[in-house]
Amino acid sequence: MKVLDLGTSSLREVNSVLQTATTGEFVVSNPQGAHALGCGLDAPVTLRVEGPVGYYCGGMNQQANVLVDGNAGTGLAENIMSGTVTVTGNAGQSAGATGHGGLVVVQGNASARCGISMKGVDIVVGGDVGHMSAFMAQAGALIVLGDAGADLGDSIYEAQLFVRGSTTSLGADCVEKEVRPEHLDFLAVRLADAEMDANPADFSRYGSARMLYNFHPDDVNAVEAAR
Contact flags string 185-224 toward other proteins, x per CB under 8 A:
----------------------------xxxxxxxxx---
Amino acid identity for residue 58 in this structure: G
**Residue 119 binds other proteins (CB under 8 A):** yes
Q: How far apart are CA 60 and CA 157, in angstroms?
A: 22
Taking alpha carbons only, the member of 115, 110, 146 closest to residue 130 is 110
Closest CB to other proteins among residues 158, 193: 158
Torsion of CA 58, 206, 189, 103, to 10 degrees: -10
Establish if 157 lies at the interface with other proteins (CB under 8 A).
Answer: yes
Within residues 7-36, the interface with other proteins by CB under 8 A covers: 11-12, 15-16, 19, 35-36
Site string for other proteins, 125-144 (x = CB under 8 A): ----------xx-xx-----
Whether 48 and 70 have beta carbons less than 8 Å apart is answered as no
Contact 131, 112 (CB under 8 A): yes
| Count of beta carbons in the 10 Å neighbourhood of residue 211 | 10
Instruction: Name the site residues for other proteins (rule: CB under 8 A).
Output: 11-12, 15-16, 19, 35-36, 39-40, 42, 54-56, 59-60, 62, 74-75, 78-79, 81, 93-94, 97-98, 100, 113, 116-117, 119-120, 135-136, 138-139, 157-158, 213-221
